[in-house]
Amino acid sequence: MTSTPAWTTSKPTALLVLADGTVIEGKGIGATGRVQAEVCFNTALTGYQEILTDPSYLGQIVTFTFPHIGNVGANDEDIEDLTPAARHGAVGVIFKADITDPSNFRSAKHLDQWLKARGIIGMSGIDTRALTAWIRENGMPNAVIAHDPDGKFDIDTLKAEAKAWSGLVDLDLAKVATSGQSAKWDERPWVWNEGYATLGDADAAYHIVALDFGVKRNILRLLTGLGCRITIVPANTSAEDVLALKPDGVFLSNGPGDPAATGTYAVPVIRTLIDKDLPIFGICLGHQMLGLAVGAKTEKMHQGHHGANHPVKDHTTGKVEIVSMNHGFAVDSKSLPEGVEETHVSLFDGTNCGLRLVGKPVFSVQHHPEASPGPQDSHYLFRRFVNLVKERKGETLLAERA
């Protein structure tokens, strides 16, 4: 695969070096340096800040298929990782066009400045369509992305580093992305011209404990918006410590890395919580680990699902939703044991996108119903979870779709 630079300098200031030795030249943006990671592509047209700060992208370089990224600048509101100071999210980024000056009333910073502050190494000026086609054909490659303003690169060393990187299989990144300690959450969903309100004690009807494997903020906001008081706990919290908090329900968050690796400490905890008949809701990595906890298997995907235009069918309603996706591993639907039902399926490739336990208040989905970015077709799943809590308490249920 070749790439034609879109600028006229004498030499490239950024390189993407794939594990097979392919070298792609570009123009450096964002932070300087180099990093090993997996390269994926994202088909979303909007929401680049939310994408780049989603902890599920830790260990990955995001190639945007939409050519113009950065037009609306950057701000402090469209951030999804829980601890921005730790900068959990994508480690690299690839654009087709140069970043233009921002033109949006919410912009507080040029995207290039924001990338530098976040430590995200990037490049522009390459044929992202060709790179995307390569990934579709060959799968998500291990690679090194490097940025040097002087264009000084040791290509042999970069090739060796790309080839030597072990990749995401068997890699536990949740322990990197998780919170270091327990914390309370009271921020509610964003409202136009008002920003983020907070949940008052009088409005907090239910206590949800969120196991944080790299949770996104908007997941927590949507739960808080339904009257849930949330306690966030680290990924390696024991079942005894979760139960000591006396939760009305437990949430299993999204996150990065291989679920089988994270599962060595989290899966036994999930099994214990299932046995307590607590309402449980999992998203993304949380869905995969719930699958492992009930005896299913997970597998690495060829190119993964990354974007905001993925069609998923909910078998429980018969409806098709357009959803936001971000995952490179999936639950093997053929491995689901008796007593576990497949509730959602991808209409792109038929992979599993949801499950529930028969006779128990436990379910999960692979996609991101909280969006940010993406459509809001699946917001009803948060009401479905709260209804499980309300049902357990003998309360009147919410209409699933508001």
Alpha helices of 201-304 — where are they, by DSSP H?
A: 217-224, 239-244, 259-275, 285-293
Tokens of 174: 């949740």
Percent helix, percent strand, percent coil in the chain, to nearest 5: 25, 30, 45
* Helices 217-224 + 380-392 axis angle, to 10: 50
Helices (H) and strands (E) in the chain, counts: 10, 19
User: Is there a contact between 108 and 74 (Cβ–Cβ < 8 Å)?
Assistant: yes
User: Is there a contact between 218 and 245 (Cβ–Cβ < 8 Å)?
Assistant: no
User: Is there a contact between 4 and 111 (Cβ–Cβ < 8 Å)?
Assistant: no
- Would you name the residues annotated as active-site residues? 284, 368, 370
Residue with tokens 């576990």: 340
Residue 152's Cβ-count burial label (10 Å; 0-12, 13-18, 19+) is exposed
